[in-house]
Chains A and B, each alone.
Chain A
C-alpha cells in the first residue's frame, strides 16, 4: 500500500530560524516522486519542491530543501530562514508509477512562525 506519514501535527519556529518538517513514505515501487505542498489559510495548494526516487542529489528550491534518505524512506522538508509568511499547512505527497500515478497525501503539518 502507498502511504505518507507526517508525525508532527503542529510545529513552531522562530522567525529567521530553520525548521524541518518530517515525512516518511511507504511504497514497494522503485519509481516514484515525492512532493511538498504549502497550503496557506487562503486555501490554495502551492507546489514547493520535488524529488525523484532516482535523483542522487537532494532537491533545493530557494529556501526549501528536501532531505531525501531513500533507505529510511524519508523525505523531510527543510525551510531555512523562516518568514512569517511561511505559516501554513504543509503536505508531503507521493506519486508512484505503479499506482496509476495517483498522488497520495499525508495528513499535513501546521507550521506557525513566531515573530
Chain B
C-alpha cells in the first residue's frame, strides 16, 4: 500500500512569491491534515478535511494561505504571497476515518523563503 505522497520535497522561493504544495493521501483515507512544523517544534495543525469539506481551518492564516481538496482525495495548500516567516516544513497526513486511530504522515515539504 502506498503511503502519503507529497511534492515537492524541497522548495526555495523569494518572499512575496506564491508557492503550492500537493498531497495525495493513502487510498480510502477520508481525513486529511495539513500541518506546519517549525524547526525543533511539534507539528501544528493548519487545516483538517473530512472528504472534501474543511471541517477545521481555524488555525489557517486565511489572508495568505488557502487549501482545497476538490474531489475528496488529493489536496493542495497554497501560500500567496510568501513571507520569510513561512519557512518551515509542511506536513500532510491522513487517517481512515472518525475513529481515534493513528494518522500517517507524508515526507513533508521543506520551504525556504529568502
Contacts and interface: CB of A to CB of B under 8 A. Distances in A.
Interface of A: 4, 31-33, 35, 37, 42-47, 50, 52, 91, 93, 95, 97, 100-103, 105-108
B55 A103 contact: no
A45 B43 contact: yes
Given A45-B105, A107-B42, A100 B55 contact: yes
B98 A103 contact: no
Contacts of B89: 43
Given A33-B101, A43-B107, A108 B48 contact: no
Contacts of A31: 100
Interface residues of B, number: 25
A26 to B, nearest CB: 15
Contacts, number: 57
Nearest to A9: B40
Contacts of B31: 101
A33 B99 CA distance: 9
A44 B56 contact: no
Given A42-B107, A101-B100, 4 more contacts: A33-B101, A33-B102, A93-B42, A97-B100
A35 B42 CA distance: 13
A44 B100 contact: no
A47 B102 contact: yes
A83 to B, nearest CB: 22
